[in-house]
Structure 1
Amino acid sequence: MKKIIGRRERITLPDWKLRMIPAKVDTGAYTSSIHCTFVEERKIDGEMILFYRVLGSTDRKYKDIIHHTNDYTQKKVKNSFGQAEVRYKVKTKVIMFDEEFEAEFTLTDRSKMRNTILLGRKMIQGRFLVDVSEVNLSQKSKI
Protein backbone atom coordinates (compact mmCIF):
# COMPACT_ATOMS: atom_id res chain seq x y z
CA MET A 1 0.00 0.00 0.00
CA LYS A 2 1.34 3.42 -0.96
CA LYS A 3 1.90 5.94 1.80
CA ILE A 4 0.74 9.53 1.46
CA ILE A 5 3.32 12.33 1.54
CA GLY A 6 2.84 16.08 1.56
CA ARG A 7 4.25 18.75 -0.73
CA ARG A 8 7.24 19.04 1.63
CA GLU A 9 8.80 16.25 3.66
CA ARG A 10 11.81 15.78 5.92
CA ILE A 11 14.10 13.01 4.72
CA THR A 12 17.17 11.28 6.10
CA LEU A 13 20.11 10.42 3.85
CA PRO A 14 22.20 8.14 6.11
CA ASP A 15 25.14 7.61 3.71
CA TRP A 16 25.65 11.38 3.68
CA LYS A 17 24.99 11.76 7.46
CA LEU A 18 22.03 14.07 6.78
CA ARG A 19 19.09 13.70 9.16
CA MET A 20 15.63 15.18 8.79
CA ILE A 21 16.53 17.54 5.95
CA PRO A 22 13.60 19.45 4.39
CA ALA A 23 12.80 18.47 0.80
CA LYS A 24 10.19 19.67 -1.67
CA VAL A 25 8.15 17.10 -3.56
CA ASP A 26 8.28 18.00 -7.27
CA THR A 27 6.03 15.85 -9.44
CA GLY A 28 7.17 17.88 -12.46
CA ALA A 29 10.75 16.65 -12.08
CA TYR A 30 11.64 13.13 -13.16
CA THR A 31 14.86 12.78 -11.15
CA SER A 32 15.45 14.04 -7.62
CA SER A 33 18.14 16.67 -7.12
CA ILE A 34 20.22 17.99 -4.25
CA HIS A 35 22.24 21.16 -3.76
CA CYS A 36 25.92 20.56 -4.46
CA THR A 37 28.67 23.12 -3.80
CA PHE A 38 31.64 21.14 -5.14
CA VAL A 39 31.98 18.35 -7.69
CA GLU A 40 35.13 17.00 -9.29
CA GLU A 41 36.08 13.87 -11.22
CA ARG A 42 39.51 12.40 -10.53
CA LYS A 43 41.30 9.39 -11.95
CA ILE A 44 42.72 7.32 -9.10
CA ASP A 45 44.54 4.05 -9.81
CA GLY A 46 43.00 4.01 -13.29
CA GLU A 47 39.44 4.43 -12.02
CA MET A 48 37.28 7.55 -12.28
CA ILE A 49 36.04 8.74 -8.89
CA LEU A 50 33.53 11.54 -8.32
CA PHE A 51 34.12 13.77 -5.31
CA TYR A 52 31.28 16.06 -4.21
CA ARG A 53 29.92 18.14 -1.35
CA VAL A 54 26.15 18.31 -0.78
CA LEU A 55 24.41 21.12 1.14
CA GLY A 56 27.80 22.74 1.83
CA SER A 57 26.93 26.41 1.62
CA THR A 58 23.40 26.11 2.98
CA ASP A 59 24.27 24.52 6.32
CA ARG A 60 27.55 25.20 8.09
CA LYS A 61 27.75 21.81 9.81
CA TYR A 62 27.96 20.05 6.42
CA LYS A 63 30.34 22.48 4.71
CA ASP A 64 33.51 20.40 5.00
CA ILE A 65 32.17 16.89 4.26
CA ILE A 66 33.36 15.61 0.89
CA HIS A 67 31.78 12.38 -0.36
CA HIS A 68 33.06 10.17 -3.15
CA THR A 69 31.83 7.35 -5.35
CA ASN A 70 32.78 5.39 -8.42
CA ASP A 71 29.10 4.56 -9.04
CA TYR A 72 27.84 7.63 -10.91
CA THR A 73 26.64 8.71 -14.32
CA GLN A 74 25.96 11.92 -16.17
CA LYS A 75 22.46 12.93 -17.19
CA LYS A 76 21.14 15.68 -19.42
CA VAL A 77 18.29 17.51 -17.67
CA LYS A 78 16.28 20.68 -18.18
CA ASN A 79 16.75 22.99 -15.24
CA SER A 80 14.01 25.09 -13.67
CA PHE A 81 14.67 27.79 -16.28
CA GLY A 82 14.12 25.35 -19.18
CA GLN A 83 17.79 25.21 -20.15
CA ALA A 84 19.43 21.84 -20.84
CA GLU A 85 22.46 21.02 -18.71
CA VAL A 86 24.53 17.94 -17.94
CA ARG A 87 24.60 16.89 -14.29
CA TYR A 88 26.26 14.12 -12.34
CA LYS A 89 23.83 11.56 -10.93
CA VAL A 90 24.59 9.52 -7.81
CA LYS A 91 22.70 6.95 -5.75
CA THR A 92 22.18 7.01 -2.01
CA LYS A 93 19.89 5.58 0.65
CA VAL A 94 16.81 7.54 1.72
CA ILE A 95 14.76 7.00 4.87
CA MET A 96 11.08 8.04 5.02
CA PHE A 97 8.38 6.54 7.24
CA ASP A 98 11.18 4.54 8.91
CA GLU A 99 11.68 2.67 5.61
CA GLU A 100 14.99 2.71 3.76
CA PHE A 101 15.28 2.60 -0.02
CA GLU A 102 17.77 3.66 -2.69
CA ALA A 103 17.22 6.76 -4.81
CA GLU A 104 19.12 8.71 -7.45
CA PHE A 105 19.94 12.41 -7.10
CA THR A 106 21.44 14.79 -9.61
CA LEU A 107 24.02 17.17 -8.17
CA THR A 108 23.46 20.85 -8.96
CA ASP A 109 23.93 24.33 -7.55
CA ARG A 110 20.59 25.19 -5.95
CA SER A 111 21.92 28.18 -3.96
CA LYS A 112 19.51 30.55 -5.71
CA MET A 113 16.55 28.23 -5.11
CA ARG A 114 14.30 28.12 -2.07
CA ASN A 115 14.58 24.32 -1.68
CA THR A 116 17.93 22.54 -1.46
CA ILE A 117 16.41 19.11 -2.23
CA LEU A 118 13.74 18.18 -4.77
CA LEU A 119 12.11 14.75 -4.73
CA GLY A 120 11.20 13.75 -8.29
CA ARG A 121 8.74 11.29 -9.81
CA LYS A 122 11.25 8.47 -10.15
CA MET A 123 11.61 8.29 -6.36
CA ILE A 124 7.91 8.87 -5.64
CA GLN A 125 6.43 6.50 -8.25
CA GLY A 126 5.21 3.20 -6.86
CA ARG A 127 5.93 4.25 -3.25
CA PHE A 128 3.94 7.37 -2.43
CA LEU A 129 0.86 9.40 -3.28
CA VAL A 130 1.13 13.18 -2.89
CA ASP A 131 -1.39 15.30 -0.96
CA VAL A 132 -0.41 18.87 -1.86
CA SER A 133 -2.48 20.31 1.01
CA GLU A 134 -0.22 18.63 3.59
CA VAL A 135 3.42 18.82 4.74
CA ASN A 136 5.65 16.42 6.69
CA LEU A 137 3.20 13.52 6.73
CA SER A 138 6.07 11.05 7.16
CA GLN A 139 6.72 12.68 10.54
CA LYS A 140 3.07 12.91 11.60
CA SER A 141 2.78 9.13 11.35
CA LYS A 142 5.08 8.89 14.40
CA ILE A 143 2.90 11.09 16.61
Structure 2
Amino acid sequence: MRHRLGSIRNRFVPLLLAAAALSLGSTSGFADSPQVLGWVEEGLILPERVAVKFKLDTGALTSSMHAENIDHFEKDGEDWVRFTVELEDINTDKQVRTRLERELIRDIKVRGAGGAEERPVVLMKVCLGNQIYEEQFSLNDRDKMNYPVLIGRRTLEKVGPVDSSKTFTVEPSCPDSRQ
Protein backbone atom coordinates (compact mmCIF):
# COMPACT_ATOMS: atom_id res chain seq x y z
CA MET A 1 0.00 0.00 0.00
CA ARG A 2 2.81 2.39 0.88
CA HIS A 3 4.39 1.83 -2.56
CA ARG A 4 1.11 2.61 -4.30
CA LEU A 5 0.67 5.95 -2.42
CA GLY A 6 4.21 6.97 -3.27
CA SER A 7 3.57 6.18 -6.91
CA ILE A 8 0.34 8.22 -6.93
CA ARG A 9 2.07 11.10 -5.15
CA ASN A 10 4.92 11.03 -7.66
CA ARG A 11 2.44 11.33 -10.51
CA PHE A 12 0.24 14.08 -9.05
CA VAL A 13 2.86 16.37 -7.53
CA PRO A 14 4.25 17.37 -10.96
CA LEU A 15 0.67 17.91 -12.20
CA LEU A 16 -0.15 20.12 -9.22
CA LEU A 17 3.05 22.12 -9.72
CA ALA A 18 2.24 22.57 -13.41
CA ALA A 19 -1.31 23.69 -12.59
CA ALA A 20 0.01 26.18 -10.04
CA ALA A 21 2.53 27.56 -12.55
CA LEU A 22 -0.18 27.93 -15.19
CA SER A 23 -2.50 29.74 -12.82
CA LEU A 24 0.28 32.15 -11.83
CA GLY A 25 1.02 32.81 -15.49
CA SER A 26 -2.64 33.47 -16.25
CA THR A 27 -2.97 36.18 -13.61
CA SER A 28 -0.32 38.21 -15.37
CA GLY A 29 -2.46 37.87 -18.50
CA PHE A 30 -5.22 39.87 -16.80
CA ALA A 31 -2.92 42.88 -16.54
CA ASP A 32 -2.50 42.83 -20.32
CA SER A 33 -6.18 42.26 -21.06
CA PRO A 34 -8.21 45.10 -22.60
CA GLN A 35 -10.37 47.31 -20.43
CA VAL A 36 -13.90 46.04 -19.87
CA LEU A 37 -16.46 48.64 -20.96
CA GLY A 38 -20.11 49.01 -20.01
CA TRP A 39 -23.01 48.44 -22.37
CA VAL A 40 -23.50 52.24 -22.60
CA GLU A 41 -20.53 54.60 -22.82
CA GLU A 42 -19.94 58.25 -23.66
CA GLY A 43 -18.21 58.63 -27.01
CA LEU A 44 -17.32 61.37 -29.46
CA ILE A 45 -18.33 61.61 -33.10
CA LEU A 46 -15.40 63.03 -35.01
CA PRO A 47 -14.37 65.42 -36.42
CA GLU A 48 -17.02 67.56 -34.67
CA ARG A 49 -16.27 66.00 -31.25
CA VAL A 50 -19.98 65.71 -30.41
CA ALA A 51 -20.39 63.79 -27.14
CA VAL A 52 -23.23 61.25 -27.32
CA LYS A 53 -24.25 57.98 -25.73
CA PHE A 54 -22.86 54.92 -27.51
CA LYS A 55 -24.65 51.62 -27.00
CA LEU A 56 -22.16 48.75 -27.23
CA ASP A 57 -24.46 46.30 -28.94
CA THR A 58 -23.29 42.69 -29.13
CA GLY A 59 -26.49 41.86 -31.01
CA ALA A 60 -25.56 44.04 -33.99
CA LEU A 61 -22.88 43.04 -36.48
CA THR A 62 -22.34 46.45 -38.08
CA SER A 63 -22.19 49.70 -36.14
CA SER A 64 -24.94 52.25 -36.81
CA MET A 65 -25.14 56.03 -36.53
CA HIS A 66 -27.97 58.54 -36.60
CA ALA A 67 -28.25 60.34 -39.95
CA GLU A 68 -31.02 62.28 -41.69
CA ASN A 69 -31.62 63.52 -45.24
CA ILE A 70 -29.40 60.89 -46.84
CA ASP A 71 -28.69 61.66 -50.50
CA HIS A 72 -26.73 59.48 -52.91
CA PHE A 73 -24.48 61.14 -55.50
CA GLU A 74 -21.46 60.43 -57.66
CA LYS A 75 -18.06 62.00 -57.07
CA ASP A 76 -15.00 61.24 -59.21
CA GLY A 77 -16.78 58.19 -60.62
CA GLU A 78 -17.46 56.74 -57.14
CA ASP A 79 -20.72 56.40 -55.18
CA TRP A 80 -20.97 58.79 -52.24
CA VAL A 81 -23.63 59.82 -49.71
CA ARG A 82 -24.38 63.21 -48.21
CA PHE A 83 -26.23 63.25 -44.88
CA THR A 84 -27.10 65.41 -41.92
CA VAL A 85 -26.02 64.58 -38.39
CA GLU A 86 -28.09 66.50 -35.85
CA LEU A 87 -27.48 65.50 -32.25
CA GLU A 88 -27.55 66.94 -28.78
CA ASP A 89 -24.13 67.03 -27.14
CA ILE A 90 -24.67 65.38 -23.74
CA ASN A 91 -21.95 67.53 -22.12
CA THR A 92 -23.19 70.93 -23.29
CA ASP A 93 -26.89 70.27 -24.05
CA LYS A 94 -26.31 72.12 -27.35
CA GLN A 95 -27.73 70.91 -30.65
CA VAL A 96 -24.99 70.20 -33.15
CA ARG A 97 -26.00 70.03 -36.80
CA THR A 98 -23.62 69.30 -39.63
CA ARG A 99 -23.84 68.08 -43.21
CA LEU A 100 -21.28 65.39 -44.06
CA GLU A 101 -20.15 63.62 -47.21
CA ARG A 102 -18.60 60.16 -47.21
CA GLU A 103 -17.75 57.60 -49.85
CA LEU A 104 -20.28 54.77 -49.93
CA ILE A 105 -18.54 51.58 -48.78
CA ARG A 106 -21.52 49.29 -49.36
CA ASP A 107 -25.24 48.90 -48.74
CA ILE A 108 -26.59 46.46 -46.17
CA LYS A 109 -30.01 44.94 -45.75
CA VAL A 110 -31.25 45.24 -42.17
CA ARG A 111 -34.11 43.07 -41.01
CA GLY A 112 -36.23 44.08 -38.06
CA ALA A 113 -39.74 43.93 -36.68
CA GLY A 114 -40.89 46.44 -39.29
CA GLY A 115 -39.45 44.44 -42.20
CA ALA A 116 -36.25 44.78 -44.18
CA GLU A 117 -34.59 47.95 -45.44
CA GLU A 118 -31.41 48.94 -47.29
CA ARG A 119 -28.96 51.22 -45.51
CA PRO A 120 -25.80 52.90 -46.77
CA VAL A 121 -22.53 52.12 -44.95
CA VAL A 122 -19.73 54.70 -44.66
CA LEU A 123 -16.46 55.06 -42.78
CA MET A 124 -16.71 57.34 -39.73
CA LYS A 125 -14.27 58.19 -36.96
CA VAL A 126 -15.35 57.97 -33.34
CA CYS A 127 -13.56 58.26 -30.01
CA LEU A 128 -14.25 55.69 -27.29
CA GLY A 129 -12.08 55.77 -24.18
CA ASN A 130 -8.68 56.96 -25.35
CA GLN A 131 -8.86 55.34 -28.80
CA ILE A 132 -9.97 56.66 -32.16
CA TYR A 133 -11.70 54.08 -34.34
CA GLU A 134 -12.36 54.53 -38.04
CA GLU A 135 -15.11 52.02 -38.66
CA GLN A 136 -17.99 51.17 -40.94
CA PHE A 137 -21.32 52.64 -39.82
CA SER A 138 -24.70 52.08 -41.39
CA LEU A 139 -26.67 55.32 -41.60
CA ASN A 140 -30.21 55.41 -40.29
CA ASP A 141 -32.62 57.92 -38.78
CA ARG A 142 -32.37 57.06 -35.08
CA ASP A 143 -34.32 60.12 -33.81
CA LYS A 144 -36.77 57.95 -31.91
CA MET A 145 -34.03 55.76 -30.39
CA ASN A 146 -32.36 56.26 -27.00
CA TYR A 147 -28.86 55.87 -28.43
CA PRO A 148 -27.74 57.75 -31.56
CA VAL A 149 -24.75 55.42 -32.02
CA LEU A 150 -24.60 51.63 -31.83
CA ILE A 151 -21.21 49.96 -31.74
CA GLY A 152 -21.53 46.53 -33.36
CA ARG A 153 -19.47 43.35 -33.06
CA ARG A 154 -17.08 44.18 -35.90
CA THR A 155 -15.91 47.21 -33.93
CA LEU A 156 -16.23 45.55 -30.51
CA GLU A 157 -13.61 43.01 -31.61
CA LYS A 158 -11.14 45.92 -31.53
CA VAL A 159 -12.63 47.71 -28.51
CA GLY A 160 -12.69 44.76 -26.10
CA PRO A 161 -15.11 43.00 -23.77
CA VAL A 162 -18.45 44.47 -22.66
CA ASP A 163 -19.93 44.02 -19.17
CA SER A 164 -23.72 44.26 -19.41
CA SER A 165 -23.98 45.25 -15.73
CA LYS A 166 -21.90 48.45 -16.20
CA THR A 167 -22.44 51.86 -17.83
CA PHE A 168 -20.23 54.92 -18.33
CA THR A 169 -16.94 53.34 -17.24
CA VAL A 170 -14.65 55.66 -19.26
CA GLU A 171 -14.69 59.23 -20.52
CA PRO A 172 -13.54 59.90 -24.07
CA SER A 173 -10.02 61.29 -23.97
CA CYS A 174 -8.75 61.09 -27.54
CA PRO A 175 -6.26 63.60 -28.86
CA ASP A 176 -7.78 66.47 -30.78
CA SER A 177 -8.55 65.05 -34.19
CA ARG A 178 -10.34 67.37 -36.60
CA GLN A 179 -9.82 65.20 -39.68
Would you say same fold, with TM above 0.5? yes
**Matching of residue 27 in structure 1 with residue 58 in structure 2:** yes
C-alpha contact (below 8 Å) 1:72/1:89 kept by paired residues: yes
Q: Which runs of 5+ in 1 are unaligned?
A: none
- 1:121 maps to 153
Distance 1:12 1:91 in 2: 15
After superposition, the Cα gap between the structure-2 partners of 1:46 and 1:113, relative to the gap in structure 1 and judged at 3 Å, is: same
Cα distance in 1, alignment partners of residues 146 and 107 from structure 2 = 24
Instruction: Give the unaligned 5+ runs of structure 2.
Output: 1-32, 89-93, 174-179
User: Separation in 2 of the partners of 1:29 and 1:82?
Assistant: 16
SS at match of 1:62: strand
Aligned pairs for 1:1-143 within 5 A = 1-15=33-47, 17-44=48-75, 46-54=77-85, 56=86, 58-59=87-88, 61-63=95-97, 65-79=98-112, 81=113, 83-139=115-171
Whole-angstrom CA distance in 1 between matches of 2:46 and 2:95 = 15
**1:82 shift after superposition:** 5.9
What is the deviation of 1:106? 0.5
The Cα offsets for residues 78-122 of structure 1, whole Å up to 9 and x where unpaired, read as 23x262211000111222221122111110111222222111111
Residue 62 and residue 20 in structure 1: after superposition, are their counterparts in 2 closer, same or farther (change >3 A)?
A: closer
RMSD: 2.2
State the TM-score, normalizing by the size of structure 2.
Answer: 0.67
**Which range moved further: 38-47 or 91-100?**
38-47
Q: Which runs of 4+ in 1 moved over 2 A?
A: 43-49, 58-63
Q: CA offsets, 1:20-48, max 9 Å, x none?
A: 21111211111111111110012345443
Q: Which has the higher contact order (CA 8 A, sep 6+)?
A: 1
SS in structure 2 of the partner of residue 20 of structure 1: strand
User: Which one has a larger percent strand, Structure 1 or Structure 2?
Assistant: 1
Q: How many residues align?
A: 136
